[in-house]
Amino acid sequence: MAKLKLVNSDDASIIDAMVELTRKQREIQERTREILRVAKPILLAEGFQALTMDRVASRMEYAKGTIYGHFSNKEEIVLALALEAMRLRQKLFQKAASGTGLARRRIMAIGLASEFYTQRCTEEFQVEQWMRHSNIWDKSSSDRQTLIRNCEAGCMQIVSELVREGQAMGDLPTLERMSPEEMVFGLWAITFGSQILTASSPSLSALGIIDPIRSTRIHCCQLLNGFGWQPIHSIEEYLEMFDEISAEFNPQFEQIQREYR
């Protein structure tokens, strides 16, 4: 780090002001994190209606105006919590995609990361669902909406790049009228849709869906086989590979989760 040479007292004042600004910025960031720490359990335990700026301020022993200095409304708080959650999901995807082996195997590892997120990071998954309510999303700022979109696009890009890699290696045919992103959307629809139903539907077992995770894995296998993505796997092979991938990646996912919290 370069040393600063102070010529006179005015120079010293400038340096002091810079240090002071940095300290204040750190304090603002810490207070923002504290607001989110207080708001999150209220949202999860009691719902959106129970989350109010007055209640957050009271628990923090701050004036309500202090909370408004960081968030213009409670919808902004929910989106900030959701962004934190989605960044955790993105880190899990990045870890899965960085593994070894063929692109199709790493796609499976991302599927496992998605399962880990919904089953083991349940609070984050719940917060993300609150964000998707139109009455919350529509009242949030365009800047925060852009951050959410960028994070979601980042997750999409991680998977799409593996599709492109599979095509470049000759393992996956280039499909007419379907981009890599559209192929990923099919996987996304299967996994995310099944995860929402698993978390919200009380009647799956009565409908004959005894193991929704296994069913989702089978559907994804069939979709990838249908794309012609080599190597083509039988259902039995695919499920066995998932067990191997779980043993490899779950400890790494657990470490990412610990660091996040």
pLDDT digits (tens, 9 = 90+) for 167-225: 999 999 998 889 999 999 999 999 999 999 999 999 999 999 999 999 999 999 999 99
Q: What angle do CA 46, 84, 28 make, to 5 degrees?
A: 95
Residue in the structure block whose two tokens are 């496992």: 112
DSSP alpha helix (H) spans, the chain: 9-46, 53-60, 64-68, 74-97, 103-120, 122-131, 134-137, 142-168, 180-200, 212-226, 235-260
Residue count of the chain: 261
Average pLDDT value for the chain: 91
Residues 104 and 227 in one domain: yes
51 vs 128: CA distance, rounded Å: 16
The predicted pLDDT at position 20 comes to: 57
Q: Determine, yes or no, domain membership for 8.
A: no
Residue 5 lies in a domain: no
Question: Amino acid letter at 118?
Answer: T
Higher local confidence (pLDDT), 4 or 145 = 145
- Do 67 and 90 lie in a common domain? no
Q: Is 244 exposed, middle or buried (0-12, 13-18, 19+ CB in 10 A)?
A: exposed
Q: Do 142 and 253 fall into the same domain?
A: yes
Give the whole-number percent of the chain exceeding pLDDT 90. 86
pTM of the model: 0.88
For residue 212, say if its preceding peptide bond is cis, omega within 30 degrees of 0.
no
Q: How many domains does the chain have?
A: 2
Res 14 pLDDT > 90: no
What pLDDT, on the 0 to 100 scale, is given for residue 24?
76
pLDDT at site 18? 46
Does residue 17 register a pLDDT over 50? no
Is 36:77 a contact under the CB 8 Å cutoff? yes
Q: Are residues 31 and 97 in the same domain?
A: no
Q: Does the pLDDT at position 55 exceed 80?
A: yes
Residue 254 has pLDDT above 80, yes or no: yes
Range(s) of the domain holding residue 64: 14-71
Segment 84-105, tens digit of pLDDT: 999 999 999 999 999 999 999 9
CATH number for the domain that contains residue 134: 1.10.357
Q: Please tell me whether residues 38 and 107 are part of one structural domain.
A: no
Q: Which residue, of 45, 71, 97, is where some domain finishes?
A: 71
Domain match, 66 and 93 both: no
Handedness of CA 254, 242, 90, 213 (dihedral sign): negative
CATH number at 61 reads 1.10.10
What local confidence, expressed as pLDDT, does residue 15 receive? 45
pLDDT digits (tens, 9 = 90+) for 222-251: 999 999 999 999 999 999 999 999 999 999
Residues 102 and 180 in one domain: yes
23, pLDDT greater than 80: no
Q: Which pLDDT belongs to residue 21?
A: 57
* Cβ atoms < 10 Å from Cβ of 113: 27
Distance, in Å, from the CA atom of 186 to the CA atom of 239, rounded to the nearest integer, reads: 20
| Residue 213 included in any domain | yes
